[in-house]
Amino acid sequence: MTTATTTGLPRLLPRDGGRPEDWRLHMARFGPIPYRGSTGRLIDDVREAGLTGRGGAAFPAHRKLAAVAEAAANQRVRPVVIANGAEGEPASDKDATLLWLAPHLVLDGLQLAAEAAGADRAILYTHEDRRDDVGRRLRAELRQRRDDRVDVVLATAPPRFLAGQETALVNHLGGGPAVPRFPLPRVTERGLDGVPTLVQNAETLAHMALIARYGPRWFRQLGTGAEPGSLLTTVRRGGDGRPRIVEVPFGVPLMSLLGDLEDAGAVLVGGYHGTWLPTAQAMRLRLDNESLRSAGAAVGAGILAALPGDRCGLAETARVVRYLALESAGQCGPCLNGLPRMSAALTALATGRAAGRAAASARADLERWAGLVTGRGACHHPDGTARFVRSALRTFAGELDRHERGRCGAANRAPYLPVPSLTARTEEDWL
Amino acid sequence: MSGINSSTALWYVSRATGAVALLLMTAVLLLGLLVSRQGKLPGLPRFAVTGLHRNLSLLSVVFVALHVLTAVTDGYVTIPLISAVLPLASPYERLSLSLGAISLDLTLALIVTSLLRGRLGRRTWKAVHWLAYLTWPVAWLHGFSAATDLRQGWLFAFAIGDLLLVIAAVGWRVAAAAREVPRAERVGVLMAAVHQRGRGR
């Protein structure tokens, strides 16, 4: 996708429309890894570039790097760096796409991050089910690489929504279930095997590989002052809901990504921990956190979905919340008890089982439960789910009123947003 | 044994503190079982149950210390101080006092690891704390075999009552642990229950 505002794009993805870049093509396009020879310099460049984490939290990348390097120096141990391509979010496909089309940028970034942090171990954590044979391909490409200084181990994430959550990832690589733990001590202090651990999203590392080559000033040529650079987005619009992966600069108008959406019912921004917005409101916003914050939304991992006008937003929300409730690790009371109740209430509203006064009380219950679970989990799963539910109550208020009177405006009952059917039943499903 | 006088006082104190220590250890064990299942006592918040467990355990150590020191100091029978912690070191009541020494050693291990819990890590602490289930029976056997006191009269009822109480409480704990839904299945079980009820409405 090339418009006047997007010169120089794509930066990460292959230029000739989706041909996977093997080692030879990658070397021809980018050349060898520009190692820095010491730990500090790349961190300074990453800070000047203003690179933020692309996994969803938008945390400044240089601060994590510096924290790990410093903790390792203090503890006199070698840290671990991990490229996180778990992408547990079913609505996102950008990390899988990046690892399929441009794996060597991620691997270059992993080597550079290892050098910057002083690490002697590197792990690439992926969700193998996303692409047939991605594991075999990555292994083959890893063998091609000549200038790696740290051996890269491939690890597979279980197909769980929370598998990519930082502490869950560390738990899983340590041999345990991929369930989150209490955030303290930070994994940057004590992570895998008790050593400082750098967990960076795969896309973040790919950007780092480019910053190391072309410098912070080049990086800032795209994007906004607060959020420079480009990002990969997963965009869904139109009937079949098939996602497109598009690399855009921060600050691009949502309208230019989603196109003319007169018929759309609503827009989901930021995925299943994100926010439903009315189409008219979404069309006035730009894809950066400053603009989206004004609407109570966030970029997250760059997921955008325009719900077609013939679908029921409530039914979609109920399906997704049921999935999110089933993906709770079941460790924290508010999440374990709250999410299934929210799921049941939403299902009752969506199917019309709760009508009249029962519907009114279900709506009040949902608001109350959303407030009760927020901020009360070890991870942000309850918070994100509550945000999603609350935005649905706001955005689909008219639809809720119709459902209360026993009607639904949707002509098309087919599911739109992707929801995996396999849910965890035993401990093994988390391993 | 013919009443309390200056020459028998220490002996009586030793027997009495031993019985009280057993009573305290029983309470500590019961409270520990409750804490391990995250149970509550009526009128007490949960952290207070933990606090009571901790404080009573320290109090029981005070009574055990008195019990040992008075027994050693008393001149009626010869008990070397070292036999308080070293099994088979006492010529008097060799087997019974060995049980007492083992029980005291185990108690010390429990106390020291609990005081150092922040530095040890939860797994190590917990592994050592399982020894509590060994400590109490050894202490009980020590009391029951060493002292004729516990084998007659109301103290016999007290000793047997303690034993039955502990057996019942451990049985409850095992049953509660078996009833517990494993973490990985909790969500599914709750989802099914909530959705089922929603349908019934």
Average pLDDT for residues B168-186, to the nearest whole number? 90
Average pLDDT for residues A65-89, to the nearest whole number? 96
Using an 8 Å Cβ cutoff, are A211 and A228 in contact? Answer: no
Residues in chain A: 431
Q: Do B195 and A179 lie within an 8 Å CB cutoff?
A: no
CA A108 distance to own-chain centroid = 21
pLDDT at B130 over 50: yes
Sheet holding A80-85, edge to edge: A152-156, A121-126, A80-85, A197-201
Nearest Cα neighbor of A162 from B191, B190, B187 is B187
Distances B33 to A35, B19, B103, B111, B158 between C-alpha atoms, Å: 58, 21, 19, 16, 20
Packing angle between helix B153-179 and helix B9-36, nearest 10 degrees?
A: 20
Nearest Cα neighbor of A116 from A48, A170, A70 is A70
Question: Given pLDDT bands bounded at 50, 70 and 90, which one contains residue B201?
Answer: very low
The confidence score (pLDDT) of residue A348 equals: 95
Using an 8 Å Cβ cutoff, are A220 and A50 in contact? Answer: yes
Separation between Cα atoms, residue B45 and residue A376, nearest integer Å: 20
Q: Do A353 and B201 lie within an 8 Å CB cutoff?
A: yes
**Residue whose structure tokens are 């009607």:** A407
Average pLDDT for residues A38-47, to the nearest whole number? 91
What pLDDT, in 10s, does the model give residues A100-122?
999 999 999 999 999 999 999 99
In chain A, the percentage of residues whose pLDDT exceeds 90 is 84
Q: Do A328 and B183 lie within an 8 Å CB cutoff?
A: no
Note if the bond before A420 is cis, omega within 30 degrees.
no
Q: Given CB atoms, is A281 within the 8 Å cutoff of chain B?
A: no
Question: Given pLDDT bands bounded at 50, 70 and 90, which one contains residue B199?
Answer: low
For testing the chain B interface, which of A381, A427, A429 should be mutated: the one with the most B CBs within 10 Å?
A427
Chain A closest-CA separation from residue B48 CA (Å): 21
Average pLDDT for residues B141-162, to the nearest whole number? 88
Least confident of A8-12, A113-117, A258-262, A300-304: A258-262
Torsion angle, CA of A92/A94/A99/A102, rounded to 10 degrees? 170
What pLDDT, in 10s, does the model give residues A375-417?
999 999 999 999 999 999 999 999 999 999 988 888 888 999 9
Q: Given CB atoms, is A179 within the 8 Å cutoff of chain B?
A: yes
Q: Given CB atoms, is A162 within the 8 Å cutoff of chain B?
A: no
Tokens of A419: 């929801």
In chain B, the percentage of residues whose pLDDT exceeds 70 is 97
Q: Which residue of A has its CA nearest to B195?
A: A344
Question: Given pLDDT bands bounded at 50, 70 and 90, which one contains residue B2?
Answer: low
In chain A, the percentage of residues whose pLDDT exceeds 70 is 97
pLDDT at A69 over 90: yes
B186, B198, B201: residue with CB nearest A336: B186
Q: Do A426 and B195 lie within an 8 Å CB cutoff?
A: no
Least confident of A17-21, A343-347, A356-360, B103-107: A17-21
Average pLDDT for residues B132-156, to the nearest whole number? 90
Residues in chain B: 201
Around Cβ A134, how many Cβ atoms within 10 Å? 20
**Residue whose structure tokens are 């020879």:** A37
Average pLDDT for residues A324-350, to the nearest whole number? 96
The confidence score (pLDDT) of residue A426 equals: 84
Nearest Cα neighbor of A306 from A252, A251, A260, A247 is A260
Contacts with A331 from chain B: Cβ below 8 Å: 183
Contacts with A430 from chain B: Cβ below 8 Å: 184
Q: Which residue of A has its CA nearest to B186?
A: A330
What pLDDT, in 10s, does the model give residues B10-20?
988 999 999 99
Cα-based angle A386, A408, A322 (whole degrees, multiple of 5) = 30
What pLDDT, in 10s, does the model give residues B22-54?
999 999 999 999 998 888 888 888 889 999 999
Chain A closest-CA separation from residue B153 CA (Å): 50
Note if the bond before A185 is cis, omega within 30 degrees.
yes
Tokens of B126: 């917990």
B183, B195, B197: residue with CB nearest A330: B183
What pLDDT, in 10s, does the model give residues A143-172?
999 999 999 999 999 999 999 999 999 999
Least confident of A104-108, A254-258, A419-423, B134-138: A419-423
Chain A closest-CA separation from residue B52 CA (Å): 25
Pairing of strands A152-156, A197-201: unpaired
What pLDDT, in 10s, does the model give residues A174-211?
999 999 999 999 999 999 999 999 999 999 999 999 99
- Give the residue numbers in B contacting A (CB under 8 Å), as ranges: 182-188, 190-191, 193-195, 197-199, 201
Least confident of A74-83, A88-97, A127-136: A127-136
Chain A closest-CA separation from residue B4 CA (Å): 58
Q: Which residue of A has its CA nearest to B197?
A: A344
pLDDT at A127 over 90: no
For testing the chain A interface, which of B124, B189, B191, B201 should be mutated: the one with the most A CBs within 10 Å?
B191
Q: What is the 3-state secondary structure (H, E, C) of chain A?
A: CCCHHHCCCCCCCCCCCCCCCCHHHHHHHHCCCCCCCCCHHHHHHHHHHCCECCCCCCCEHHHHHHHHHHHHHHHCCCCEEEEEECCCCCCCCHHHHHHHHCHHHHHHHHHHHHHHHCCCEEEEEECHHHCCCHHHHHHHHHHHCCCCCCCEEEEECCCCCCCCCHHHHHHHHCCCCCCCCCCCCCCCCCCHHHCCEEEEEHHHHHHHHHHHHHHHHHHCCCECCCCECEEEEEEECCCCCCCEEEEEECCCEHHHHHCCCCCEEEEEECHHHCEEEEHHHHCCCECCHHHHHCCCCCCCCCEEEEEECCCCHHHHHHHHHHHHHHCCCCCCHHHHHHHHHHHHHHHHHHHCCCCHHHHHHHHHHHHHHHHHHCCCCCCCHHHHHHHHHHHHHHHCHHHHHHHHCCCCCCCCCCCCCCCCCCCCCCHHHHC
A336, A337, A347: residue with CB nearest B195: A347
Sheet holding A275-278, edge to edge: A244-249, A230-236, A303-308, A264-269, A275-278
Chain A closest-CA separation from residue B194 CA (Å): 6
Q: Do B185 and A425 lie within an 8 Å CB cutoff?
A: yes
Q: Given CB atoms, is A326 within the 8 Å cutoff of chain B?
A: yes
pLDDT at A5 over 60: no
Q: Please give the mean pLDDT across all residues of chain A.
A: 93
Using an 8 Å Cβ cutoff, are A115 and A36 in contact? Answer: yes
Q: Given CB atoms, is A345 within the 8 Å cutoff of chain B?
A: yes
Q: What are phi and psi of A232, to 5 degrees?
A: -85, 135
Contacts with A343 from chain B: Cβ below 8 Å: 191, 194-195
Top-confidence residue, B183 or A300: A300
What amino acid occupies position A395? T
Question: Given pLDDT bands bounded at 50, 70 and 90, which one contains residue B184?
Answer: confident
What pLDDT, in 10s, does the model give residues B89-109?
888 888 999 999 999 999 999
CB pairs under 8 A between A and B: 64
Q: Do A340 and B184 lie within an 8 Å CB cutoff?
A: no
